[in-house]
Amino acid sequence: MKKAWSVVGTIVLVMILLGGICIAVGYVTGGSTEAVLTRMEARYHLSVYFDAYLHWFQDLIARLVALWPAA
Amino acid sequence: MALAMYGRIFDDAESEQAVLQKLFSPTRQAINVARVYNAKERKLQVEAQSRGDSAQQDVSPAFLLEINKIYDDVFRVIAQRQEQAPAEQRNEDQFCLFTDQDAPHPIKDSEYVPIALQGGKPSPAEDGTSLELDEDELQIAQPEEADEIVPAEAAVYEEERAAAQNGPAAVPIQAHLIPEEEELDVEAPAEEILTAASETGEGEKPRFGYGSLEAESEAKTEPAAQAQADAAGEEPNIFERQLTLDGVIAPERQDSARPADPIPMETVRKPRVFLLILYTLIAIPVTLFGLALLLIPTALCLILAAGVIAAGVSALVAAFSSGLTPFANILLVLGTALVVLALGLLFLWLFVWLIFGGMGGLIRGVVNLGRKWCYREVSV
């Protein structure tokens, strides 16, 4: 189990390191976050999914608070 | 064993009445011996001996120590009585080979005198080990004035001498052939005798019991093996003597140079039924409750892993299929996808670890705890 932990941890660290390098290189070479979000919103409607998730999360928190006896 | 013990005690005793008074009840003494005799332990010792375990060879069985204790007690009392008795009461008609001038003569180890010629009583300190005298040593026992020997004693002496000359190179001499010095040591306390014997390396040797019978069997069966053992300077211990006597092992010496192998003890696990039922009744609900508690983070990790991996794959696909024109924006989406996939992999591994490490470890721990508490190992 320890060996599996080390293997998985190494893979995760390598992927995060590679992702960080890619992001850094993208920013260095003139990348723009706003341009990417605009393109993704236009193609995949990310704001709809984000609003739906935010609504579900707020509803869940409200239910949990209602279940609390002191409340 | 007990019969041999009584036979030796009465044979060695000068006064049988004194022995009877000391024993009080021979049956009671036999019961004392039988009480300390543990058949199962003895069986394990015999098995260990047959396997050549050196640690078990040096251990004297309890019943043998009890017999030695009775033997020492009896002869200590007799020796005390003899010490109190006046020396003038010695039978003047009794034949004595040595004069008073010879009495303080320190006897050597090889100088053994037949007690039949000496006229004294046999020593209890002698265990009847076969003493081998060659012809030269037997010359010591020859009387200076052979004409004064009574006919019966002369006949015994001549019989032994003829056996020494006609038989094998040496004559096995039993307990009635004792060193003169040990006769004087009878008056010493038993503790001193044991201490002296242990200092000379004979502490493990029983005073009687196996001695005379084993000596006879050795003299009859394997004189060569005994000579080989004596040449190597080794003394067979009491277990080998008994095993030889019982015919369990061959009379030849065990290979003492062989390294002692650990005894593989076969054990059987027997359940403690009541405790096992009680533990099962308690452990099952507790285990189920623990599994239920572990299910919450496990399911949460699974959901997170599924969602994060799906988002990472979507970002990875979108990086190359959404039509991002500058390559720098593709690198931004690609780096984000890699980070998200790394988190998804971490959550997925947490899910696997919670199932096999958490739940499986909980079940294994409960089972091992029950095996430890509710079972006992019994040696077969």
Question: What DSSP letter does each residue of B56-121 carry, written as one string?
Answer: HHTPPPHHHHHHHHHHHHHHHHHHHHHHHS-GGGS-TTS--SS-GGGTTPPPPTT--EEHHHH-SP
Band of residue B199 on the pLDDT scale cut at 50, 70, 90: very low
Q: What's the rounded mean pLDDT across residues A52-70?
A: 88
* CB–CB contact A27 B332 (8 Å): yes
* CB–CB contact B326 A31 (8 Å): yes
Q: Which of A1, A12, A19 sits opposite B335 (nearest CB)?
A: A19
Would you say residue B287 has pLDDT above 90? yes
Q: What is the token pair recorded at B370?
A: 């029950």
Q: What is the token pair recorded at B23?
A: 């024993």
Write the Ramachandran bin of B128: left for phi over 0, alpha for psi from -120 to 50, otherwise beta. Answer: left
- How far apart (Å, rounded) are the C-alpha atoms in residues B189 and B59? 23
* CB–CB contact B331 A23 (8 Å): yes
Would you say residue A12 has pLDDT above 90? yes
B218 close to B251: Cβ distance less than 8 angstroms? yes
Q: Which helix (H) or strand (E) covers residue A37, if one does?
A: helix A33-44
Band of residue B41 on the pLDDT scale cut at 50, 70, 90: confident
Residue A26: what pLDDT? Answer: 92
Would you say residue A58 has pLDDT above 70? yes
B251 close to B221: Cβ distance less than 8 angstroms? yes
Band of residue B34 on the pLDDT scale cut at 50, 70, 90: confident
Would you say residue B228 has pLDDT above 70? no
In a mutational test of the B interface, the residue from A39, A49, A50 whose CB has the highest number of chain B CBs within 10 Å is: A39
- How far apart (Å, rounded) are the C-alpha atoms in residues B157 and A10? 96
Q: What's the rounded mean pLDDT across residues B250-268?
A: 61
- How far apart (Å, rounded) are the C-alpha atoms in residues B19 and B5? 12
Residue of B nearest to A14 (CA): B342
Q: Which of B93, B80, B81 is nearest to B119 (CA)?
A: B93
Burial of B263 (0-12, 13-18, 19+ CB in 10 A): middle
B18 close to B200: Cβ distance less than 8 angstroms? no
Residue B153: what pLDDT? Answer: 54
Would you say residue B343 has pLDDT above 90? yes
Would you say residue A11 has pLDDT above 90? yes
What ranges in chain B are assigned the alpha helix state H? 2-12, 16-23, 26-36, 39-50, 54-57, 62-84, 115-118, 135-138, 151-166, 180-184, 190-199, 211-221, 223-231, 238-246, 273-321, 327-353, 360-374
Residue B16: what pLDDT? Answer: 72
More confident residue, B71 or A46: A46
Query: Percent of chain B scored above 90 by pLDDT?
Result: 19
Handedness of CA B52, B56, B58, B63 (dihedral sign): negative
Q: What's the rounded mean pLDDT across residues B305-316?
A: 92
Q: Is A12 on the interface with B (CB under 8 A)?
A: yes
Q: Which of B276, B269, B123 is nearest to B185 (CA)?
A: B123
The minimum CA-CA distance between A36 and chain B, rounded to whole Å, is 6
Would you say residue B80 has pLDDT above 90? no
B33 close to B6: Cβ distance less than 8 angstroms? no
Q: Which of A1, A22, A43 sits opposite B338 (nearest CB)?
A: A22
Q: State the Cα angle at B290 between B286 and B293, rounded to 5°.
A: 140
Residue of A nearest to B337 (CA): A19
The minimum CA-CA distance between B295 and chain A, rounded to whole Å, is 19
The winner for highest mean pLDDT among B33-42, B98-107, B220-229, B330-339 is B330-339
Average per-residue pLDDT for chain B = 66
Tell me the C-alpha to C-alpha distance, in Å, between residue B136 and each of B139, B170, B207, B221, B229. Answer: 5, 10, 28, 25, 22
Would you say residue A10 has pLDDT above 60? yes
Residue B71: what pLDDT? Answer: 72
Q: What's the rounded mean pLDDT across residues B121-141?
A: 45
Q: What's the rounded mean pLDDT across residues A38-50?
A: 86
More confident residue, B225 or B271: B271
Residue B121: what pLDDT? Answer: 46
Handedness of CA B306, B312, B317, B321 (dihedral sign): positive
User: How much is the ipTM here?
Assistant: 0.84
